[in-house]
Amino acid sequence: MISVDHALRIVLETAQVLPVRSVPITECSGLVLGENVISSENIPSFDNSAMDGYAVRFIDVQNASRENPVTLKVVDVLPAGKVSQRHLENDETIQIMTGAPLPSGADAVVMVEQTEKKNDNEVLVFSPVQKNENCRKAGDDIKAGLVVFQKGRLIKPYDVGVLASIGKSTLQIIPKPTVAILSTGDELVGMDEILPPGKIRSSNNYALRALIGKMGIAVVDLGIAKDTLKDTEEKLRSAFSADIVLTSGGVSMGEFDYVKQALEKLNVDIKFWKVKQKPGKPLVFGSYQSKLFFGLPGNPVSTIVCFELFVVPAIKKMSNVDHYMPNRVRAISSALIPKKPGLRYFLRGVISKNDREFIVSPMDNQSSGVMSSLSYANCLIDIPEESGNIEAGQVVTAILLDAQTLNDLMSN
C-alpha cells in the first residue's frame, strides 16, 4: 500500500501529454494550443473608416464649427467592400461607411452626426477632426509577422474570431484524452430496467459520464461487466482503444473481484493497487502502452473521490493544462473529526467564509456508500495519514470540488 502523494506521483509520471493534432478552429475552445500562431497579414489589412461619415483631409476642416461650418464637395460615396478610384483633393470629401477603405488623400473621418447635407453635391461639416480620427489603421489590431497566440495557450472562444480574421482555419492542438468506462458487478442493473430483489441501479457510470462530460470529453460507456473473469476480460479488451479506461468496482478483496486478474491477462502494467486513503483504498492504477487504466473502487463516493483526486489531474496533464491539481484552502474545522493514524482521509465537507476566515464542517455521515452527501458537500477535508483526531477549531486543508466553490468563497 502506498501513500496518496506517491500514488499521484506515479499517475502523473505515467500520464504523458498527447501528441498534437489538427483541429478546425470552431472545435478548439478549451483545448491547449500546440503551435505558435503567426499572422501573415495585417489586421485590418487596409486603413478604413471606424464610423459612418465623411472622409476628409483634416486640414480642410480644422476651423469648422456649428457657427462657421466648412462646405466640402462630395465626390464619391463609398460603402464597405468597395475601393474608391478618386484621390481626395482640397475641399473635397467622400461619403464613407464603417469598414470602407480610406480613400487616397484622406487622413480622417468626420462622423455623420457632425455634418449636414447642403445639397446633392455638398456637405456642411460642423466640427474639426484630428489627423487619423475615426480611422482604423492597417495592422492596428494585429501586425503581420506577430505571434498572435503562443504554444501552450488555453484557447478561448474569443480567440476563434481572431483566428478566422487571419485566415487560420485549423490549429495544431493537444487533444483531450478519450475515456471509456466500465461498471462491474452482478448486482447492477441499468437505470431503465426493473429492479429485482438484491439488485441496485448502476449509478457510477452516470456519475462518471457527467464528470467527464463536464470536462468537454467524449465518453464511451461500455456498460456493465458481470462478476466473472471472462466477461470482465472481454469487456476490457475493447476498452483500450480509448486513452483512459475507468472501471468501477471489482477491485477489493471480495471473492468476485476480477478486475485485477483481467488486467493481468490483458498485459496491463499494474503500477499500484491500494492507496493509504479513505475512501478509495482499493484503487488500482496501470498502463497499457500509452493508455492509462484506473480501477476505481465501486462504492459511489470512493469512485468519485478517486476520480477527482487521480483521474482529473491525469486528464489535465495529458491535455497539457497547466494547473492540474485541485484548488486547496486552509480552513477551520467547525467540529471534532474522529480519526485514527494510518490512512489519509478525504471527508466530505461544506466550506464557507466569514469576514476573517474559512470555516469547514464535515458532513454527518461519511460512509462511502452515502452518495447524496457528496451532492450537498462542496469540498473534501484532507487530513494527513499520520494525523489523529482533529479538534474543533483546528486548521485543516480543504480541497474545493469545483471552480464555482472558489468563486462563491471569494465573492462572500
Binding site for ligand AMP (CB under 6 A): 183, 185, 187-188, 200, 202-205, 248-252, 254, 297-300
Using CB under 5 A as the binding rule, whether residue 297 contacts Mg ion is answered as no
- Nearest distance from C-beta of residue 205 to Mg ion, angstroms: 13
Q: Considering CB distances under 5 to 8 angstroms, the limit depending on partner class, which of ligand AMP, Mg ion, none binds residue 299?
A: ligand AMP
- Nearest distance from C-beta of residue 308 to ligand AMP, angstroms: 17
Q: Mask of contacts with Mg ion, 139-178, x by CB under 5 A?
A: ----------------------------------------
Residue whose CB is less far from ligand AMP, 84 or 299: 299
State how far the Cα of 362 lies from the Cα of 374, in Å rounded to an integer. Answer: 11
- Nearest distance from C-beta of residue 279 to ligand AMP, angstroms: 10
Residue nearest ligand AMP, CB atom distance: 298
- Nearest distance from C-beta of residue 248 to Mg ion, angstroms: 9
Using CB under 5 A as the binding rule, whether residue 313 contacts Mg ion is answered as no
Applying CB under 5 A, which part among 46-54, 163-171, 173-181, 182-190 lies near Mg ion?
182-190
Q: Considering CB distances under 5 to 8 angstroms, the limit depending on partner class, which of ligand AMP, Mg ion, none binds residue 188?
A: ligand AMP
Q: Considering CB distances under 5 to 8 angstroms, the limit depending on partner class, which of Mg ion, ligand AMP, none binds residue 187?
A: ligand AMP
- Nearest distance from C-beta of residue 343 to ligand AMP, angstroms: 17
Residue whose CB is less far from ligand AMP, 32 or 296: 296
State how far the Cα of 61 lies from the Cα of 78, in Å rounded to an integer. Answer: 20
Residue whose CB is less far from ligand AMP, 72 or 263: 263
Work out which of 69, 185, 286, 295 binds Mg ion, going by CB under 5 A: 185
Residue whose CB is less far from Mg ion, 115 or 302: 302
Residue whose CB is less far from Mg ion, 250 or 295: 250
Residue whose CB is less far from Mg ion, 93 or 204: 204
Residue whose CB is less far from ligand AMP, 12 or 370: 370
Residue whose CB is less far from ligand AMP, 8 or 306: 306
Residue whose CB is less far from ligand AMP, 34 or 249: 249
Residues in Cβ contact with 160 at an 8 Å cutoff, skipping those fewer than 6 apart? 25, 26, 28, 29
Measure the CA dihedral 379/284/213/235, to 10°: -150
Using CB under 5 A as the binding rule, whether residue 300 contacts Mg ion is answered as no
Q: Considering CB distances under 5 to 8 angstroms, the limit depending on partner class, which of ligand AMP, Mg ion, none binds residue 44?
A: none
SS (H, E, C) the chain: CECHHHHHHHHHHHCCCCCCEEEEHHHCCCCEECCCEECCCCECCCCEECCCEEEECHHHHCCCCCCCCEEEEEEEEECCCCCCCCCCCCCEEEEECCCCECCCCCCEEEEHHHEEECCCCEEEECCCCCCCCCEECCCCCECCCCEEECCCCECCHHHHHHHHHCCCCEEEEECCCCEEEEEECCCEECCCCCCCCCCEECCHHHHHHHHHHHCCCCEEEEEEECCCHHHHHHHHHHHCCCCEEEEECCCCCCCCCCHHHHHHHCCCEEEEECECEECCCCCEEEEECCEEEEEECCCHHHHHHHHHHHHHHHHHHHCCCCCCCCCEEEEEECCCECCCCCCEEEEEEEEEECCCCEEEEECCCCCCCCCHHHHHCCEEEEECCCCCCECCCCEEEEEECCHHHHHHHHHC
Using CB under 5 A as the binding rule, whether residue 249 contacts Mg ion is answered as yes
Applying CB under 5 A, which part among 92-100, 180-188, 236-244, 346-354 lies near Mg ion?
180-188
Question: Residue 89 is placed in which grid cell?
Answer: 483633393
Applying CB under 5 A, which part among 48-56, 165-173, 271-279, 292-300 lies near Mg ion?
292-300
Q: Give the CA distances from residue 136 to residues 100, 132, 141, 142, 232, in Å, rounded to whole numbers and listed in that order.
A: 10, 8, 9, 12, 65
Q: Considering CB distances under 5 to 8 angstroms, the limit depending on partner class, which of ligand AMP, Mg ion, none binds residue 297?
A: ligand AMP
Residue whose CB is less far from ligand AMP, 95 or 202: 202
Which phi and psi angles does 92 have, rounded to 5°?
Answer: -110, 155
Q: Which residues bind Mg ion (CB under 5 A)?
A: 185, 249-250, 298
